[in-house]
Structure 1
Amino acid sequence: MRILLTGSSGWLGRFLAPMLRARGDTVIGLDVAPGADTDVIGSVADRALIDRLFAEHGIEAVVHGGALHKPDIARYPAQAFIDVNVTGTLNLLEAAAKAGHDRFVFTSTTSLMISTTIRNELADHAVWLDENSGPLEPRNIYGVTKLAAEQLCRLARLENGLNCIVLRTSRFFPEDDDTHRDLSGENMKANELLHRRLTVEDAARAHMVALDHAPEIGFGSFIVSAPTPFDRQECDELKRDAATVIARYFPDAPALYAAKGWELPRSIGRVYDAALAGKLLGFRCETDFGTVLDALRQEKPLPFAHDPNYVSPKEVSGVG
């Protein structure tokens, strides 16, 4: 397939583009910043550019990963999020429908499922989140625009028959958390693989699977996250004493963590359940918390990327 990949210079794009090419797809990368996998510099908000790309490159499918993200809230006005995340998605959907495409994959985020109440962990239990969770009340402009874009994908299926898969990915950024600094970045990422993270490699693989399955699904929204070992019935205890629950599943985790100078989470406030992606897409992340413990046992490199100095290419190039 001739695939238009937006956000090709970004963290996901730099992993996804080579994977697609390795299996025989032709990838046309679009990004506002230059990169090894970017063929065209420009914005998805530029409708004339999108139309020209479709005409000149014979685009057959779209993977739309380009967006302004949560850290960008401090740098860009709300209108920029509307222009890129909403109008840009609409531009691509309309161009894809006009071209008669049979598949469109949209990179969304679990962040849009997190209300202020969930974010502040006010409940006396861990909140179990799956595709039926709601009502959805995004807490910032990033979540609001991603939810709006998801709804545009749904309408594209209903009104134009465009097969769309929405992937609500949990965390896979390489840098440190921009709000929490209690633990080291590696310690936090390892902990999050229990309930709210995946590797960028798994995120890329999920997009390829979604691309392949879109025609048989029609429309679907899926959480994509490392498989949690926990059960919904453990939500009360996870909030009260997560370390005890973790030790039941992984008896040597406390000792392995202690040797590393890490801390297990004392309390877990939310859990992402990615079971539906396994059931309908046949996708399961290859890396999970158990993989981390295996690396610690064998004194091997950690199975996830961590780069506290990572900066988005658009900020490096100053074209954001």
Structure 2
Amino acid sequence: MRVLLTGSSGWLGRFLAPMLRAQGHRVTGFDVAPGVDTDVIASVADRAAIDRVFTERGIEAVIHGGALHKPDIARYPKQAFVDVNVTGTLNLLEAAVAAGHDRFVFTSTTSLMISQAIRDEAGDSAVWLDEDSGPIEPRNIYGVTKYAAEQLCRLFHAEHRLNCIILRTGRFFPEDDDTLSHPPGANLKANELLHRRLTVEDAARAHVAALARAPEIGFGTYIVSAPTPFAREEAAELKRDAAAVIARHFPDAPALYAARGWELPTRIGRVYDSGRIQRELGFAFDTDFAQVLDALRTGDALPFVHDASYTSPQLQVPGPG
């Protein structure tokens, strides 16, 4: 298929574009920033640019990964988030319907599921989050606009029978967290693979799978996060003494962490359950926390990327998009 990939210069795009090509797809990369896999430099908020690329490239399917993200809140006004994340998605959906497409994959975020109450983690148990969790009460403009874009996908499936798959991805960025500094770097990412993170490679593979299965599924929303080793019944203990729960599942984890100078989490306040995408799409993640421990045992490279110097290509352009 001739696939339009938005956000092609970003972290996900640089892994996803080669995977799509390896599957035999002809990829047109679309981004506001230049990149190896970007053919068209424009904003998704520009409807004329969208229509032009659909016509000139004969686009047959869309993977919409382009967006303003949570760190962009400090750089752009709320209107920019509406223009890019909402209007941009609407532009693509309308173009896809006009072109007679049968599939549309939308990159969403687990962040929109986190209300201020969940973020505060005031309860006695870890919050167990799956696709049925709610009510959805996003705490910032990023979450609000991504949720609005999800609802546009739902509406276009209902009104036009456009097959849409929404992927609520967990964390896969390579740089340091923009709010958390302890534990630092790779230690934090390793911990997060227990309950809220995945590798960028698995994120890309999930998009490839969603593109293939969309006509069969019709419409679906899926959390995409590395499989958690925990059970719902452990939620209270995770909040009280996460290290003990981890040691029960992985008896040598404390020693392996200590040898590295790392720290296990003492408490975990939320867990993302990605069971539905595994069951309904038959999707298998390549990497989870067990692979981290394997690397610590053998001294091999960690199974995820940590790059404190990474800068989004978007920061190199003057405006959002």
Q: Which residue of 1 aligns with 2:50?
A: 50
Length, aligned pairs only: 320
Q: Which residue of 2 aligns with 1:159?
A: 159
Inter-partner Cα distance in structure 1 for 2:120 and 2:36? 39
Q: Which residue of 2 aligns with 1:255?
A: 255
TM-score (ref. length: structure 1): 0.99
Inter-partner Cα distance in structure 1 for 2:29 and 2:188? 32
Equivalent residues in 2 for 1:6-155 (5 A)?
6-155=6-155
Matched residue type, 1:206? A
Render the CA deviation track for 1:144-185: whole Å, top value 9, x for unaligned: 000000000000100011000000000000010000101111
Equivalent residues in 2 for 1:201-212 (5 A)?
201-212=201-212
Q: Which residue of 1 aligns with 2:296?
A: 296
Q: CA deviation at 1:120?
A: 1.2
Matched residue type, 2:145? T
- Given that 1:33 and 1:319 are in contact with CA atoms closer than 8 Å, whether structure 2 keeps it comes out as no
Render the CA deviation track for 1:73-115: whole Å, top value 9, x for unaligned: 0000000000000000000000001111000000000000000
- Given that 2:32 and 2:317 are in contact with CA atoms closer than 8 Å, whether structure 1 keeps it comes out as no
- Given that 1:226 and 1:284 are in contact with CA atoms closer than 8 Å, whether structure 2 keeps it comes out as no
Q: CA deviation at 1:34?
A: 0.2
> Structure 1 vs Structure 2: percent identity of aligned residues?
74
Render the CA deviation track for 1:265-303: whole Å, top value 9, x for unaligned: 000000000000011111121100000000000000000
Quick check: 1:243 aligned with 2:238? no
Q: CA deviation at 1:232?
A: 0.3
| Bigger mean CA deviation after superposition, 281-290 or 32-41 | 281-290
Inter-partner Cα distance in structure 2 for 1:254 and 1:187? 13
Tell me the SS of whatever aligns to 1:223: strand
Q: Which residue of 2 aligns with 1:279?
A: 279
Matched residue type, 1:142? Y
- Given that 1:9 and 1:38 are in contact with CA atoms closer than 8 Å, whether structure 2 keeps it comes out as yes
Inter-partner Cα distance in structure 2 for 1:123 and 1:60? 47
Inter-partner Cα distance in structure 2 for 1:61 and 1:92? 10
Q: CA deviation at 1:220?
A: 0.3
Inter-partner Cα distance in structure 1 for 2:285 and 2:175? 20
What is the RMSD of the two structures over their aligned residues, measured on CA atoms?
A: 0.6
Inter-partner Cα distance in structure 1 for 2:53 and 2:142? 26
Tell me the SS of whatever aligns to 2:262: coil
Structure 1 residues not aligned, in runs of 5+: none
Structure 2 residues not aligned, in runs of 5+: none
Inter-partner Cα distance in structure 2 for 1:11 and 1:205? 14
Inter-partner Cα distance in structure 2 for 1:160 and 1:128? 34
Render the CA deviation track for 1:192-249: whole Å, top value 9, x for unaligned: 0000000000000000000000001110000000000000000000000000000000
Q: Which residue of 2 aligns with 1:226?
A: 226
Moved over 4 A (4+): none
- Given that 2:42 and 2:49 are in contact with CA atoms closer than 8 Å, whether structure 1 keeps it comes out as yes
Q: CA deviation at 1:319?
A: 4.4
